């Protein structure tokens, strides 16, 4: 079974160009299932074959995860990993049937995205100082909030992806889908300052990355999260702020200020409009709060 998983993981890397994070999650989800199926069937992991896994056995796996009180999102992700795995095996002729073909995803809990208020976002973006690393951090935070790009897209930026004269950057999102993202003038100015004043002092000569760490090599996802944590602590922000929260804030503030949903979808790089629609719930809540605070008949 593990040889088949390795073959599948290689397929995701080479053919599908999945991110390292997604591949790691899929591999973990498949290994969790293999452990369960091997135990139930009383066979060693190496001798387990996908043809031994039927829909009834997989439902037992789902029940096992529910009994462990795993989040619905975790269960749905594991189901997606196994569904993709079996689809691959079926196409390769390694199994005759796909036991997950008609298995429905568990209903997801609808959670509203966390976001910063506009004054909090402004305070966070303007908090770095004037040292080379501070100038880097200012331009990085300006860019995150100006564009709403994912942290993986941010750290993957190379110098040739920037077109500051026209106010655009080229981004490769999920599934290596390319999109052009506009940048407002304030973010462009912050980037220009970083590229001329700070980056030459930080970057190694052969490093193509836009954002580099103190050693001069490409900044990592984790590095971005750590610097955001640092400035949030300095500002006393009690919210758990991640790069994705800044992305949520970008989308929410655009809608709050009159942007249409379709444009926000394009800017975020969402394939489906339904993914973007969650932000309308945030703005509706804000409108409801304003209404109850402002309407004279809404107060007792």
Q: Is 248 a catalytic residue?
A: no
Whether residue 2 lies in the annotated active site = no
Catalytic residue among 77, 161, 218, 247: 247
- The reply to whether 114 belongs to the active site is no
Any idea which architecture 118-292 has in CATH? Orthogonal Bundle (1.10)
Fold category of 2-91 in CATH: DNA polymerase; domain 1 (1.10.150)
22-31 long-range contacts, Cβ below 8 Å, gap at least 24?
A: 25/77, 25/81, 26/81, 26/84, 26/85, 29/77, 29/78, 29/81, 29/82, 30/5, 30/81, 30/82, 30/85, 31/5
> Could you tell me the pTM of the whole model?
0.64
Helix (H, G, I), strand (E, B) or coil at 138: helix
Phi, psi of 48 (to 5 degrees): -65, 135
Q: Which residue in 26, 145, 194, 279 is the catalytic one?
A: 279
270 in active site = yes
Q: Which of 114, 170, 270, 286 is catalytic?
A: 270
The answer to whether residues 243 and 232 touch, using CB atoms and an 8 Å cutoff, is no
Of the residues 174, 179, 193, 286, only one is catalytic, namely 174
The runs of H, that is alpha helices, within the chain are: 2-14, 20-41, 55-67, 72-91, 118-125, 132-147, 151-155, 185-193, 199-202, 221-235, 243-256, 261-268, 273-276, 278-294
Residues 267, 180: Cα–Cα separation, whole Å: 8
- pLDDT for 299 equals 60
Q: Where are the domains of the chain?
A: 2-91, 118-292
**174 annotated active-site:** yes
The mean pLDDT values, 10 residues at a time, for the chain of 300 residues are: 88 80 88 91 84 89 89 85 91 86 69 80 94 97 94 94 94 79 94 97 96 95 94 85 90 85 84 73 66 64
Task: Pick the catalytic residue from 138, 150, 161, 218.
Answer: 150
- Residue in the structure block whose two tokens are 């088949």: 4
To the query of whether residue 166 is one of the catalytic residues in this protein, the response is no
What pLDDT score was predicted for residue 75? 87
């Amino acid at each position: 079974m593990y040889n088949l998983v390795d073959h599948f993981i290689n397929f995701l890397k080479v053919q599908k160009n999945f991110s390292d994070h997604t591949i790691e999650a899929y591999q973990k989800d498949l290994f969790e299932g293999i452990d369960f199926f091997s135990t139930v069937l009383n066979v060693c992991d190496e001798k387990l074959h996908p043809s031994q896994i039927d829909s009834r056995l997989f439902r037992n796996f789902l029940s096992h995860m529910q009994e462990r009180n795993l989040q619905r999102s975790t269960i749905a992700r594991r189901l997606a990993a196994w569904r993709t795995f079996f689809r691959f095996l079926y196409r390769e002729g390694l199994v005759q049937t796909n036991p997950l073909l008609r298995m429905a995803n568990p209903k997801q809990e609808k959670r509203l995205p966390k976001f910063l208020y506009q004054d909090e976002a402004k305070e966070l973006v303007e908090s770095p100082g004037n040292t080379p690393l501070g100038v880097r951090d200012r331009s990085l935070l300006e860019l995150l909030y100006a564009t709403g790009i994912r942290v993986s897209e941010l750290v993957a930026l190379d110098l040739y992806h920037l077109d500051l004269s026209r106010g655009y950057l080229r981004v490769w999102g999920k599934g290596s889908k390319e999109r052009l993202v506009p940048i407002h003038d304030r973010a462009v100015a912050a980037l220009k300052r970083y590229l001329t004043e700070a980056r030459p002092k930080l970057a190694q000569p052969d490093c193509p990355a836009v954002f580099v760490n103190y050693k001069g090599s490409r900044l990592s996802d984790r590095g971005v999260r750590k610097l955001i944590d640092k400035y949030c602590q300095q500002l006393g922000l009690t919210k758990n702020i991640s790069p994705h929260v800044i992305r949520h804030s970008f989308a929410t503030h655009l809608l709050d200020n009159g942007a249409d949903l379709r444009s926000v979808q394009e800017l975020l790089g969402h394939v489906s409009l339904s993914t973007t629609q969650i932000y309308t719930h945030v703005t509706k809540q804000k409108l409801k709060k304003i209404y109850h605070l402002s309407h004279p008949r809404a107060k007792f």
